[in-house]
Amino acid sequence: MKLTKGSIAILAYYVIVVIFWLYLQLNNITSGEIGYYYQFTYGLLPLLGGTLGLIRAKQWGLFSSKVGKSLTYLSIGLISWGIGQMFWSIFYNIILNIEVPYPSIADYFYILSWPLWFLGMIHLSKATGARFSIKKLEGQFLLLLIPLVLIALSYYLLIIIARDGTLFTSNEDLQKIFFDLAYPIGDVIILTTSTLIFGLSFKYLGGKYKIPILCLLAAFVLNYITDFSFAYTTTKELYYNGHWVDILYPTVLALLSISINQFSVES
């Protein structure tokens, strides 16, 4: 797969983020301003990817084509996530010196990316022909099986393991409970949609965009794991800026950004 110029720029920046994260690990840095600046640094990644993604979407006619609509929504979702990360790093970390602002204003921008990504995947399904395959028996079976498995896994890990079987505790913020549940639920919906698109439209893609769509699927699988890990570690009070979760998030964002920018009109 030949990388586009946009994808190369994103990959190069991702390498910088990885080097920064490795510096934190090698020096055993778990608190302080340098962790705040790491959050800011990797927060620029979705802003870069989303901006380049909109440029790519413009080549597809933005809202005048199905692929253009898909790339536009996916890119705006990245930008929304990046804005949330700017609130986390600049406003809460650097200005207010709040180390782990969860839940916060940042989460509303993070969560806004979910419906945007979902819309992007829906339009991509229309472009690939997956919407026609959903009428088939195997499509209906997958549509039922995938979310059931993910919901059962989510319940076991987040409620039974992380919360000792109790959803509400007297000393826990209801807003945190909402986001703890909203993130995995949103991930389940997007991951189910992504899996169906890849599985049911595989033969319609003509070999052109199988790898970018596979990257999208990998990104949403990893996003589910990452959001769950974040919810678990914050519930157990194990999370800190520069935690291993904080290398998974930029990996997700890099995969999403690169997959969007690989939808080259010239392919």
Segment 142-154, tens digit of pLDDT:
556 666 666 666 6
Q: What is the pLDDT of residues 73-113, one digit of tens each?
A: 999 999 999 999 999 999 999 999 999 998 899 999 999 99
The residue to which tokens 């079987």 are assigned: 165
Torsion 118-135-65-8 (CA) sign: positive
Q: What whole-number distance in Å separates Cα of residue 42 and Cα of residue 84?
A: 12
Residue 20 has pLDDT above 80, yes or no: yes
Helix or strand or coil: residue 237? coil
Q: What whole-number distance in Å separates Cα of residue 211 and Cα of residue 192?
A: 18
Q: How many residues does the chain have?
A: 267
- The mean pLDDT of the chain is 84
Q: Assess if residue 94 is contained within a domain.
A: yes
Q: Assess if residue 113 is contained within a domain.
A: yes
Q: What is the pLDDT of residues 172-214, one digit of tens each?
A: 567 777 887 777 778 777 877 777 766 665 555 545 777 888 8
Q: Assess if residue 100 is contained within a domain.
A: yes
- Domain hosting residue 62, numbered range: 5-261
| Residue 102 neighbours by CB under 8 Å, 6+ apart | 176, 179, 234, 239
Q: What is the pLDDT of residue 2?
A: 85
The residue-averaged pLDDT of 21-25 equals 97
Q: What is the pLDDT of residue 57?
A: 96
Q: What is the pLDDT of residue 225?
A: 87
Q: What is the pLDDT of residue 18?
A: 98
- Residue bearing the bigger pLDDT, 13 or 192: 13
Band the pLDDT of 168: cuts 50, 70, 90.
Answer: low
- Angle subtended at Cα 82 by Cα 79 and Cα 87, rounded to the nearest 5 degrees: 130
Q: What whole-number distance in Å separates Cα of residue 148 and Cα of residue 155?
A: 11
Band the pLDDT of 235: cuts 50, 70, 90.
Answer: confident
Taking Cα atoms as reference points, which of 84, 83, 70 lies closest to residue 117?
Answer: 70
Q: Assess if residue 267 is contained within a domain.
A: no
Q: What is the pLDDT of residues 104-123, one digit of tens each?
A: 999 999 999 999 999 998 88
Q: Assess if residue 118 is contained within a domain.
A: yes
Q: What is the pLDDT of residues 64-74, one digit of tens each?
A: 998 999 999 99
| Residue 159 neighbours by CB under 8 Å, 6+ apart | 165, 166, 167
Q: Assess if residue 266 is contained within a domain.
A: no
Band the pLDDT of 23: cuts 50, 70, 90.
Answer: very high
- Angle subtended at Cα 130 by Cα 153 and Cα 114, rounded to the nearest 5 degrees: 50
Q: Which of 36-40, 55-59, 128-132, 159-163 comes out lowest in average pLDDT?
A: 159-163
Q: What is the pLDDT of residue 122?
A: 86
Taking Cα atoms as reference points, which of 264, 266, 254 lies closest to residue 57?
Answer: 264
- Angle subtended at Cα 205 by Cα 258 and Cα 259, rounded to the nearest 5 degrees: 5
Q: How far is CA 158 from the centre of its chain?
A: 19
Q: What whole-number distance in Å separates Cα of residue 56 and Cα of residue 264?
A: 7
* CB-CB contact of 194 with 214 (8 Å): no
The residue-averaged pLDDT of 151-165 equals 58
Q: What is the pLDDT of residue 147?
A: 63
Number of domains in the chain: 1
Q: What is the pLDDT of residue 219?
A: 93
- CB count in 10 Å sphere of residue 239: 20
Taking Cα atoms as reference points, which of 101, 71, 73 lies closest to residue 87?
Answer: 101
Q: Assess if residue 237 is contained within a domain.
A: yes
Q: What whole-number distance in Å separates Cα of residue 85 and Cα of residue 128?
A: 32
- Angle subtended at Cα 38 by Cα 36 and Cα 44, rounded to the nearest 5 degrees: 110
- Residue bearing the bigger pLDDT, 139 or 32: 32
Q: What is the pLDDT of residue 172?
A: 55
